[in-house]
Amino acid sequence: MIEIRRSEERGHANLGWLDSRFSFSFSDYYDPKHMGFRSLRVINDDKVAGGAGFGMHPHQDMEIITYMLDGSLAHKDSMGNGSTIRPGEVQRMTAGTGIRHSEFNPSDETAHLLQIWLLPRERGLKPSYDQKFFPGEAKSGKLALIASPDGRDGSMRIEQDATLYASWLTTGESVRHELAPGRHAWLQVARGTLKLGGKTLNQGDGAAVSNETALVIEGQTDEGAEFLLFDLN
């Protein structure tokens, strides 16, 4: 079964400096039918204006992944980490017993990112941070492993039985992902248009997948489509 979550159906908040679309309930947006999917709790499509950002704030007992699409964000946290996240780079934080962090757009260009939260395998884990670059060629026409519970094949290690893939497909390209018995999937289109199981998905659309043995994802335009695929327990 594939259930589509259309972009225009998502929650929306515009604070001037921050324009956000919410796939699941978040902050002041509440939809009891969309509280998350399996261990996936948050997918926020954020656009942060130049010279603005998220001030220092706390998190606890959450796996937090930032996937940059355009622009940059300067990161600082209570563990002493400081870095700048750019397109192609992915940031991962285990909030665990508690962290504080800030994300600031240091440029005049709007920063565009997907902010992702997953529930951890258990509460009270030791906080940690990671950031990695995944080149475009690793995602072009294939599924690139971004995050996994064991950090295999150069992916970032997350504290949950979930794997995250990223891909970029153009017309004529396709990928196939097998789902083991009892596994589920969520696909999020970051940009462009693609087909999933014969259904057309556009930028911002998501799809919850259950009771399927495999997914076939096809590119539909020469400009290409970028998407994330979560394999969930």
Is the separation of the CB atoms in 129 and 185 below 8 Å? no
Give Cα separations from 2 to 46, 61, 137, 191 (angstroms): 25, 29, 29, 20
Backbone φ/ψ region at 9: left (φ over 0), alpha (ψ -120 to 50), beta: alpha
- pLDDT band (50, 70, 90) for residue 61: very high
- Please give the tally of structural domains in the chain: 1
Rounded Cα distance, 158 and 141, in Å? 25
CATH assignment at residue 168: 2.60.120.10
Q: Which amino acid is located at 184 in the chain?
A: H
- Residue-wise pLDDT for 159-184, tens only, equals 999 999 999 999 999 999 999 999 99
Residue 73: give the domain boundaries: 2-232
Alpha carbon distance 141, 136 (integer Å): 10
Q: What CA–CA distance (Å, rounded) separates 233 from 214?
A: 15
Is the Cβ–Cβ distance between 188 and 23 less than 8 Å? Answer: yes
| Alpha helix segments (H runs only) across the chain | 136-139
pLDDT confidence band for 141 (50 / 70 / 90): very high
Closest CA to 166 of 199, 140, 148: 140
**Confidence band (pLDDT; 50, 70, 90) for 201?**
very high
**3-state SS assignment for residue 15:** coil
Amino acid (one-letter) located at 161: D
Mean local confidence (pLDDT), 192-208: 96
